[in-house]
Amino acid sequence: MQIPIDTHTLPNGLRVTLSEDHTAPIVAVNLWYHVGSANERPGRTGFAHLFEHMLFQGSANVAANEHFELVQRAGGTLNGSTWLDRTNYYETVPSHQLALALWLEADRMGRLLPAMTQEKLDTQRSVVKNERRWSMDNQPYGTWWERLPALAFPPSHPFHHSLIGSMEDLDAASLEDVAAFFRTWYTPDNAVLTIAGDFEPAEALRLVGEYFGPIPRGAGRPALPSFAVPATFGDPAPRTVVEDDVPAARVLCALRSPVFGSDGWYDAQMTAAVLGVRRGSRLYRGLVRTRQIAADVGAYTFDLSRGSDLLVVDVMGRPGVPAEELERALHAQLDALQALGVEEGELARAQALVETDLIRALQGAGTRADRLSQFATYVGDPRRLNEEPERFRAVTAERVNAFAAARLVRENRALLVYVPRTASVAA
Amino acid sequence: MIPLETAPARPGPGQPRPWAFPHVEMRGLGDGLTLLAAPVHTLPLVSVLVVTAAGADTDAPGAEGLAALAARAMVEGTGQHDGASFALAAEQLGTAIDAGADWDGAYASFTALAPKAEAAMALLAEAVVAPAFPSREVERLKGERLADIAQTEKEPRGLAEEHFAAAAYRGGSRFARPLGGTRASVGTFDAAACRAQHAARWRRAGSTVIVVGNMTVDGAAAMVERALAGWRGAPAPRVPVDDARTTAGRRVLVVDRPGATQSELRVGHVAVPRTHPDYFPLVLGNAILGGLFNSRLNMNLRERNGFTYGAGSGFDWRRQAGPFVASAAVETAVTEPALREMLAELEAIRAAPVAPSELDLARQYLDGVFPLRYETTGAIADALAARVTFGLPEDWFATYRERVRAVTGEQVQAAMQAHLDPTAWQVVVVGDAATVVPVLERMAIGPVSVVPEQLP
């Protein structure tokens, strides 16, 4: 199955991907800026995400929150999200509203700063602090997605620090920071724009040229610290035990793995599926179904594109099961795959699941656009999306075994262990 | 920076292109089984969804959670497969057979690549027609439900929802207890109970099979008839759930979570059934009040005051009266002003007509976004399942958008006045009792009581 993909680059460096599909009168507009928490300077953790909030606070020709209102009034859906090494903004709208979605994105890419005020920044700072409390501080195990990257990358590494940010650093963020971050990173030559769905290419390109064409290229981006890390943690691999107000132990194991889009990344996807995706996976069969020491298991990658990705294996214990037992069982499963290799049937199962998921995901214009932007940003070519099925099919048992031998080793298992707080500690 | 005057003018809309919900064909397959088939040939995918009247509404008193447990256990072993090999068989086809129950019905479903649909349908049929309910797997699922209860008791959103339901309904209502059951009820279940639930409720007569995707109607009918040929019987009669409100008036329940950094707020009461004639004015009214990002609750609590990451409201639509509830998680220190603003917005939507611009926003959004909701075969199948469950007319999807457009501001205000009752608010606050109880008592909303961090 192939989707049509056409690419263009504006003189200001904005890369544009078009993918036509006239099945339904729906069109998706999707912008990836190649900036995330990795680009934050010391003392400003959480800023990339706070900045994402500010992009909904208006621009020269759009009032605060009017972006949301105009898109919803047009019958569309929208949002944005921040990750370690990218930030995305997207709208899915009825196709006759394509111009509006493009115009809104261009107005904030070109003319954000006139709309920025201290009051808006203070309010969004407060919203984001509440987002931190809601998603992390007031949620059982909520700190895992701050703790795991901190465990898996050294302190100087761009992926080490918190994406949501510390309260202290959020307090320190200023309007000067907003201006500097915008001028440095939110430039057309640091972004990719994808339009997917029901549109006429000539008209879409005309609109893109009119709205985005005049926005000047950036003045250059500063070099970031090196993303390079060794392929494994070394002996002993990091391990952190967290006593928390949780009802059951949970063990999260992060393994350094090859970056998004590399051949090794496909090997990691297959290994993740064999280990922890759905009820037929090794960990589910072993820990959930047979031994009944875990309530659920999972395995997935962070999809990082620089230095190293992380393959995460996640084991949620049954209440009363000691963390040490979960850890031993997890190690035994990883040891077994590393020592004995994968069976052909397991690999066929993993490939069948991945293929269905891939095609299911392409049903929605928004997902199609987002994946095209992902490949354009991370590997420089959105056409890679059409190669996904064959790249997954090309993963052989030998490749999974080679991946397991290199990456499932003990010295590549960083462990984050949650244990229920004991009464004496809580007092 | 480009001078402002050279910025391109804000564009208007182009010419809308027509859109229609996929054509759905209904066929009787004999002995009370119905097929709804919607051919959609965009991608080589097929979604199948079996809907039957075996929801949590059928749980007997003391057996809360049996509908959910039995439905889940159906895919944990059949005449031909044990639980592990059943899961593997589906996954080797690139899919999974899921089964479960919600308040008004139970379902079994999959989405597969079209060439695998026939084989996946055969597996689904094994689970629906002849589940084995192995004791070991039933006991495991019970253990997982107990683990789930333990997790919910440490999770503020889950705690708030379960305590709100318990407060809102009259004691003894099925809707006052968790869908998945309590420790006491789950403890009583065994394989025999699951078998009895299946024998009484998962019957051919009255059930519907929905097939959406890359398959003709004849192809779907042949596939379903072949797979479900052995399915027989009619279900036991359905007894309506007691959906009456609590007789208690306005009151405040604090679920104590010592040291919590936020208060999870819930305000609401039992509202109306899905088929109520005021459905559309209520949907529009709720969009304005708390359904949209630019709704009054979110603009006030989040965008003006920064009290929360998000505030909203919603009607939980069920065959019988489900709850209306407004919600937000707010920093502990602002519990009082946040709750005050929430209560004020709930009063204001009743007190004065909605502004024309607000009504237009809600109407245009719900009208315009309608096609976007049905981009996937799974979403189309779910929508048809809702049509079946709620007994909606066949022209539901064809007329939805014009009915949204026809709602007036007067109708919205009248519906909000008729169905939101500030004297009946049940207020639940999951948070640090030591901090919030004095505040809530000062606010004099109603009597304040405190319970520990446990499920009701």
Q: What is the ipTM, given to two decimal places?
A: 0.96
Sequence-ordered strand ranges (E) for A95-146: none
Task: Round to whole Å and give the CA distance between B137 and B194.
Answer: 11
Residue B53 carries which DSSP code? S
B330–A130 C-beta distance less than 8 A? yes
pLDDT of residue B365: 98
For residue A195, is pLDDT > 60? Answer: yes
Query: Quick one: chain A helix, strand, coil %, rounded to 5?
Result: 50, 20, 35
Pair B287, B295: CB distance under 8 Å: yes
Query: Quick one: chain B helix, strand, coil %, rounded to 5?
Result: 45, 20, 35
Residues of B whose CB is below 8 A from A173: none
Q: Give chain A's radius of gyration (CA, Å).
A: 23
The two tokens of residue A30 are 């999707």
For residue A63, is pLDDT > 60? Answer: yes
- Given CB atoms, is A114 within the 8 Å cutoff of chain B? yes
- Tell me which residue in A68, A76, A353 faces B369 most closely, judged by beta carbons: A76
Give the number of C-alpha atoms closer than 13 A to the C-alpha of residue B225, restricted to the C-beta side: 12
- Given CB atoms, is A392 within the 8 Å cutoff of chain B? no
| Domains along the sequence of chain B with CATH | 25-227 (3.30.830.10), 251-371+392-451 (3.30.830.10)
| Residues belonging to chain A | 427
Task: Round to whole Å and give the CA distance between B396 and B402.
Answer: 11
Residues of B whose CB is below 8 A from A28: none
Task: Round to whole Å and give the CA distance between A145 and A142.
Answer: 7
Task: Round to whole Å and give the CA distance between A68 and B243.
Answer: 37
- Given CB atoms, is A227 within the 8 Å cutoff of chain B? no
Condensed to tens digits (0 to 9), the pLDDT of residues A141-185 reads: 999 999 999 999 999 999 999 999 999 999 999 999 999 999 999
Task: Round to whole Å and give the CA distance between B371 and A79.
Answer: 18
Burial of residue B406 (CB within 10 Å: 0-12, 13-18, 19+) is exposed
B91–A278 C-beta distance less than 8 A? yes
pLDDT of residue A425: 43
If contacts are CB pairs under 8 Å, which of residues 164-203 in chain A contact chain B? 198
Report the Cα B395 to chain-centroid distance in Å: 22
Q: Which of A27, A29, A50, A72 to mutate to test the interface with B (most CBs of B within 10 A)?
A: A72
pLDDT of residue A84: 98
Task: Round to whole Å and give the CA distance between B285 and B297.
Answer: 12
Residue A387 carries which DSSP code? G
Pair A227, A306: CB distance under 8 Å: yes
- Tell me which residue in B144, B154, B376 faces A364 most closely, judged by beta carbons: B376
| Domains along the sequence of chain A with CATH | 6-212 (3.30.830.10), 239-426 (3.30.830.10)
Residues of A whose CB is below 8 A from B44: 1, 359
CA-nearest residue to A365 within chain B is: B375
Task: Round to whole Å and give the CA distance between B372 and A93.
Answer: 8
Task: Round to whole Å and give the CA distance between A201 and A212.
Answer: 16
- Tell me which residue in B1, B116, B148 faces A111 most closely, judged by beta carbons: B1
Give the number of C-alpha atoms closer than 13 A to the C-alpha of residue B293, restricted to the C-beta side: 17
pLDDT of residue A423: 60
CA-nearest residue to B17 within chain A is: A25
Pair B323, B268: CB distance under 8 Å: yes
Size of interface A-B (CB pairs under 8 A): 230
Give just the sign of the alpha carbon dihedral A402, A403, A408, A410.
positive
pLDDT of residue A1: 75
For residue A361, is pLDDT > 60? Answer: yes
**Which segments of chain B have a pLDDT < 50?**
1-2
Q: Is B291 helix (H, G, I), strand (E, B) or coil?
A: helix
CA-nearest residue to B95 within chain A is: A353
The two tokens of residue B303 are 């965008």
Burial of residue B278 (CB within 10 Å: 0-12, 13-18, 19+) is middle
pLDDT of residue A427: 35
Task: Round to whole Å and give the CA distance between A32 and A260.
Answer: 16
Task: Round to whole Å and give the CA distance between A198 and A100.
Answer: 15
Give the number of C-alpha atoms closer than 13 A to the C-alpha of residue A96, restricted to the C-beta side: 14
Pair B420, B348: CB distance under 8 Å: no
CA neighbor of B354 nearest in space, from B303, B290, B401: B290
- Alpha carbon of A333 to those of A142, A291, A416, B187, B374: distances in Å? 26, 13, 17, 32, 41
For residue A426, is pLDDT > 50? Answer: no
pLDDT of residue A422: 82
Task: Round to whole Å and give the CA distance between A97 and B365.
Answer: 13
**What is the phi/psi pair of residue B416, to 5°?**
-65, -35
A214–B45 C-beta distance less than 8 A? no
Task: Round to whole Å and give the CA distance between B206 and B53.
Answer: 8
